[in-house]
Structure formats: C-alpha cells, structure tokens
Structure 1
Amino acid sequence: MIKIEQLSKVFKTANQTVQAVDQMNLSINKGEIFGVIGYSGAGKSTFIRLINRLEEPSTGKVIIEDQEITRLNKKDLRLSRQEIGMIFQHFNLLWSRTVRENIAFPLEIAGVSKAERNARVSELIDLVGLTGKENAYPAQLSGGQKQRVGIARALANNPKVLLCDEATSALDPETTDSILALLVDINEKLGLTIILITHEMHVIQKICRNVAVMEDGRIVEQGSVLNVFSHPKQPVTKKFVEQVMGKPEDEETEELFIQHSNSGQVLKLQFIGETTHQAIISQVAKKFDVELNILQGSVKQTQAGAYGSLYLLAIGEPETINQALAFIRETSVEVEVIQHG
C-alpha cells in the first residue's frame, strides 16, 4: 500500500546542515495501523510530513497505491492530498468556526455542494461521537472533543490514508484511551491505513500491529509490536519498552535478585501470545522436585496478543533444576538463568 524508498530530508541554514530524515525505507500494509516511535528530534514528525509533501523530500520516493507522490505536480498533488487525511497534536482547528463548519472546511475547498457537505458532516459527527456539539466553537470543547473534530475533518474527503502526528500527546490518559479506541473503530469500519507518530510506547502497545523505531533520522528497528516488545535489540527500543514494562534491572530489583540467587537460581520466563495462558509454573511444580517462588512479573496486552515476563526463584538440586529448565524450553515459553556477580 505505502512504500518509502531511500527517503531523506536535509534542512540547511546559514550556519549548519541538519539531516532530519536519513535514507528511510519502509513498507506499510493496506488497512493496518502502523506506529512510528522516537524521542524528540528523532525525525518522526518530519517523516510524516514528507508523506503528503507538507515537507519536500531532499531525495527518495513516497509511493501510495502505485502512485509516486514525490513526482506529482502541484495540481495532481492537491488532488492526491484529498486521499491523505492528517490530524495534529494541537488540533489546528479554525477557532472562529463551529464544529460543523470546521469539519465542512475541506469539503468547501474541494468544491462539494452544500447538500452533500451537510450530509457528510452529519455522518462524521455521528462517527466520532460529537452529536449535540455541532454548533459549539473550539473554545467550548475539551481536548478530546477538539481532537475528535480534527479526526472528523481529516476524514471528510474519504481518505485512504490517515496520518496522525502525536495525536494524543496533548491529552490526559483517559482521553488518550478514548481517542485510540476511536482510531481503532475508524480503522475497522473504513479500512483506512493509519500511520501513527508518537513518543509514547503505550500508544503503540494499544493499537498498532507493526512498529518502526526512529533515532537520528533513521529507522533503527522495526517489526511486529509483539516481537519488538519481547526482543528489543537497540538501546533506544529497550528504553521505550521500559515505559510500559518497567525496568527489572533497577537497583532495588537487582538487589532482590542478588539476595535470592544465594539460595537458588533466578529464572526469567518470557511469554508471548498464547503462551501467556500456559500454566507452566504448576506443570513444573508437579513434574519436578523444585520449589518456584515468584519474584516479579508483568503481562501486557497488544493488538496482536499478550506478552510478558516473570522472574522466579528456583530452589532445588542443580540437576533437577536443569531438568525443569529443559522441560520449559520444550514449550514455546522462553527461559534464561539470570547471573549476578
């Protein structure tokens, strides 16, 4: 559906040259919610603005459904942008216009008749849950309601792609969850391809199936959310995973592991997908003369399934513990022995 090939953006000033996006390559499937995560300055907002050419690429290609966006002239680009909706962190609403008038604005620009505009706007107001707020002005709305207006406006021209640039970072956690649920609902009902830019890993966790991690203008890691969460490779990815999973290697937990490792072996079990439902601990306890004590653990849900980790203290004869480890490894649960100095 969307192909990004060798995409770069260089900003030049009198004093310096900044490589905001550096040779990016990416493929996004039609109809999926794809996440791009990075810290401030990673280049993710520049990247998303390159997709619809709000920023002009220095080099590279953006291809959407076999149409090379980066080669279109101004007239064709204007038409193509009608199929690419965009929502912003700070809403970008017209403050002198009502909810209805804000949503209708892109339809006016597209030359849609008044009757068609009214019908489409009413449909969108119902879709995003703003019934009863049609005649309110942005100043009379909450942050979540403003973002719902922004989403409705972005959907006005029946786009194929929806770009979300930090769409929830200005919202409180409860409102964030409601907006994410709305995006999932829109994705399912309309079959939209959604590209979601964020610096918050829990946003990726909740609604994305695939994710790319950006740092210094480059994609440093990408894959399914389950795989990236369970096997983060890059330091920046590990930091993001810690946002939702916690950091088991902090001083307090490290001391706990060291303390208990004197009386047994500290094991780390990793569960992915259906394995989170396996009663592996009780199975091991029944089969082997090993005492298992839970030290720490967590399980999180993603759109593609659950994943989590569990730290155990295994007490028993070394040979028996090794047999138990071999049994666990025969399942789809991953296990490792945590060593401490």
Structure 2
Amino acid sequence: MISIKGLSKVFKTKHQEVKAVDDVSINIDKGEIFGVIGYSGAGKSTFIRLINRLEEPTNGDVTINQTNITSLNIGKLRKERQKIGMIFQHFNLLWSRTVFENIAFPLEIAGVSKSERKEKVSELIELVGLKGRENSYPSQLSGGQKQRVGIARALANDPDVLLCDEATSALDPETTDDILDLLVSINKKLNLTIIMITHEMHVIQKICHRVAVMDQGKVVEQGDVLDVFVKPQSKTAKRFVQQLSPLEHNQEGLHRFVTNDSNSEVVKLHFIGNDAKRALISDVLRKYVVDINILQGSISPTQEGAYGTLYVEISGDQKVITETINYIQSSGVEVEVIQDVD
C-alpha cells in the first residue's frame, strides 16, 4: 500500500544543515493504523508532511498504491493529494465558514456539483457524529467537535490514506479517547489506511497495529505495537513505555510489601495476549501448597491484545516454589525471579 524508502529531509541555514528526517524506510499495509511516535524535534511532523509533499524530500521515495508521489509534477500531485486526507493538531478550519461549508470545501475545489456535495457532506456529518451542527461556526464548537469537522473534511474526497499530525494533542483525555474511537470506527468501515503522528504512547496503545519510534530524524525501532510495548529495544521506546506503565520498569518500593519470609521468592510475571485474561493465580493455588502475596501490577489493552505485569511473592517449601515457577513458565507466562527488592 505505502512504501517509503530512504526518505530524508535536510534544512539548510546560513551556518548549518539540519537533517530533520534521516534515511527513513517503512512499509505500511492497506487498512492498517500505523503509528509514528517521538519526542519534540524527532522529525515526525516533517516526516508526515513529506508523504504528501507538503515538504519536498531531499532524498528518497514515497510510493502509494504503486504511484511514486515523489516523482509527480505539480498537476499530477494535486490530483493524487485528493486521495490523501490530512488532519492537524489545531484543526485548520475556515473560521468564516460553517461546519457544512468547511466539509464541502475540498469538494468545491474538486469541481463536485452542488447536489453531490450536499449528499456527500450530509453522509460525512452523520459519520463523524455532528448531526444538528451543520450550520454552526468553528467558534461555536468544542475542541472535539472541531476535530470531527477536520476528520469529515479530510474524508470528503474518499481518500485511500488519512494522515494525522498530532490530531489529539490539543484535546483533553476524554475527548482524545472519543476521537480515537471514531478513527478506529472509520478505519474499519472504510478500510482506510491511517498514519498517526504522536508523542503520546496512549494513542499508539489504543488504536495502532504497528509503530515506528523516531529519534533525531531516524527510525530507531519499529514493529507490532504489542512487541514494542512488551520488549522495547531502543532507549527512546523504553522511555515511552515506562511513562505509560511505570510499574513494569520500576521495582522501587517492592520491599515495603514483601513479608521477608526466608522461604519465599519474589517474581515478576509477564502476561501477553490471551494469557493476560487467565485466572492464573487461582489455578496455581489449586495445584500447589504455596502462599501468594500480590505486590503490584498493571494490565494494558492494545489493538493486538492485552499485556501486563504482576509482581508476586511466593512462599512455601523451596521445592514446591520451584515447581510452581516451572508450572507458570510452562503456561506461557514469562517469569523473572527478582533477586534484590531492597
């Protein structure tokens, strides 16, 4: 669907060159929600603007549906851009136009007849949940409603790809979740390929299938969201995951809950996918004569399944503890014995 190869962007100033995007290569499947995450200055917003050539690449190729976007002349590029919708952090609405008129604007530019525009805009207003607000102006809307207008406008020309540049950064957490739910719904209904640019790991966790992590213009890690969450490889990815689920990477304070029994082991259990839904502790207590003290834990859902971490203290006969740990491991749950919790 989307093939990005060796994409680079160099900004030249009087005194230096800044490589905002540095040799990025990514493949994105049709119908996928693909996330790109990074801290400020990582190059992610420049990257997404290179995809539809709002920024001209210095090197590299972007191919969408077998059309090389980077090689098109201006006339052909304008036509291809109609197949690439885009929504922005600060909405970019026309403040002198109503909701209806904002959504209709790209259809006007495309030369769609008035009757067809009316029918299409009405469908989109229904799709994004703005029925009854057709004649409102942006100043009369909440942030979430403004972004819904932006989404409807981006969908006006029936694009194959939707680019989202920090689309939820200006919204409160509850509204962010509403907009993310809407994007998931649109993705499923229209089989629309969505690229999400964000600095919020919650956004990646909630709706993305795969993710690329950017740092200083480079992609330092990419893969399935669940894989990156469970076993982050790069320093940047580890920082993001730790912010979202600090318990998984912070063992400080465990000693406050440990019984200090000499016949006990503190272990970290890591659940992935369907294992996160199992009543494992109950199962273990039925099979083995041990006591289990739950110290702390967390569980998080993703589009590809849940993952979670649980710290427990297992007390009893040492041989039985070993058998218990072996049983847990044989059940598909990762087990790490914590040697020092002081």
With normalisation by structure 1, the TM-score equals 0.96
Q: Which residue of 2 aligns with 1:327?
A: 327
What's the counterpart of residue 71 of structure 1? Answer: 71
Counterpart Cα distance in 2 of 1:260 and 1:25:
51
| Cα displacement (A) at 1:63 | 0.7
List gaps (5 residues or longer) in structure 1.
Answer: none
Match of 1:41, SS state, is coil
Letter in 1 for 2:298: S
Aligned to 1:209: 209
Match of 1:147 in 2: 147
Residue 239 of structure 1 corresponds to which residue in structure 2?
Answer: 239
CA distance in 1 between counterparts of 2:218 and 2:318 reads: 46
Report how far residue 8 of structure 1 moved.
0.7
1:166 aligns with 2:179: no
Q: Tell me how far apart the structure 1 counterparts of residues 123 and 266 of structure 2 sit (CA, whole Å).
A: 57
Deviation at 1:78? 0.4
Q: Secondary structure at the match of 2:90?
A: coil
**CA 1:163–1:250 in structure 2 vs 1: closer, same or farther (change >3 Å)?**
same
Secondary structure, aligned partner of 1:148? helix
1:296-311 equivalent positions in 2, closer than 5 A: 296-311=296-311
Q: Is 2:263–2:318's contact at 8 Å kept on the other side of the alignment?
A: no
CA apart distance, 1:158: 0.5
Q: Which residue of 2 aligns with 1:198?
A: 198
* SS class of match (1:325): helix
User: Deviation at 1:157?
Assistant: 0.5
Q: In structure 2, what is the equivalent of residue 93 of structure 1?
A: 93
Deviation at 1:280, TM superposition (A): 1.9
TM-score by length of 2: 0.96
- TM superposition shift of 1:254: 4.8
Q: Mind listing any 5+ residue stretches in structure 2 that lack a counterpart?
A: none
Change in CA separation of 1:280 and 1:52 when aligned onto 2, cut-off 3 Å: same
Distance 1:331 1:145 in 2: 47
SS in structure 2 at match of 1:78: helix
For 1:121, the equivalent position in structure 2 comes to 121
Residue 2 of structure 1: aligned partner: 2
Aligned residue number for residue 43 of structure 2: 43
Matches within 5 A, 1:196-275: 196-250=196-250, 252-256=252-256, 260=260, 264-275=264-275
Answer yes or no: is the 8 Å Cα contact 1:202–1:243 preserved in 2.
Answer: no
Distance 2:260 2:172 in 1: 39
Give the partner amino acid of 2:180. L
After superposition, residues 168-183 of structure 1 pair within 5 angstroms as: 168-183=168-183
Identity %: 64
- Residues 16-75 of structure 1 show CA distances to partners (whole Å, capped at 9, x for unaligned) of 211111111111110011111111111110110000000111111101111111111111
Q: Runs in 1 of length 4+ with deviation above 4 angstroms?
A: 248-252, 257-263
Amino acid at match of 1:159: P
Letter in 2 for 1:282: S
CA separation of 1:225/1:234 partners in 2, compared to 1, >3 Å: closer, same or farther?
same
CA contact (8 A) 2:143 2:171 kept: yes
* Equivalent residues of 1:212, 1:223 under 8 A apart: yes
CA apart distance, 1:283: 2.3
Question: Which residue of structure 2 lines up, in the alignment, with residue 30 of structure 1?
Answer: 30
1:307-318 → structure 2 map (5 Å cutoff)? 307-318=307-318
2: CA distance, partners of 1:222 / 1:256: 37
Aligned length: 341
